[in-house]
Amino acid sequence: MYHQYWENDDVTFRGQYEIDHEAQAITSGKVLIMVMGSSTPYVVETDATIVAEEITYKVADLVAGQYRLFFTAILDSGADQRTGIIDFVVRRKEAG
């Protein structure tokens, strides 16, 4: 399932990780956004914002296209690392 946004929007993506239905504290995390069908990143791997059990990243001025966002989080144990994926599409606003 793709999340849909509009060109030039600012969007904050959020993620959480659970193990055995229990939210996990995140000690650090990264985000990478790729353009679908391309090996060129839209946002190269960079630090995500971490607040306890939530990982976030704000993207400004999105351009039309299809994307895949990868959140990689290191959990409170330090030895456990998890990656989550968010697929999204950005559409052009039509004058109407």
pLDDT tens-digit readout, 1-18? 789 999 999 999 999 998
- Look at 1-5, 33-37, 54-58, 86-90 and tell me which has the smallest mean pLDDT: 1-5
Residues 6+ apart with CB under 8 A from 19: 75, 80
CA-CA distance, 32 to 74, in Å (whole number)? 15
Residue range 71-85, pLDDT digits in tens? 999 987 677 889 999
CA within 13 Å, CB half, 84:
16
The amino acid at residue 17 is Y
DSSP code of 92?
P
- Domain spans of the chain? 3-87
Fold category of 3-87 in CATH? Immunoglobulin-like (2.60.40)
CA within 13 Å, CB half, 8:
3
Give the mean pLDDT of 41-47: 95
Residue range 52-74, pLDDT digits in tens? 899 999 999 899 999 999 999 99
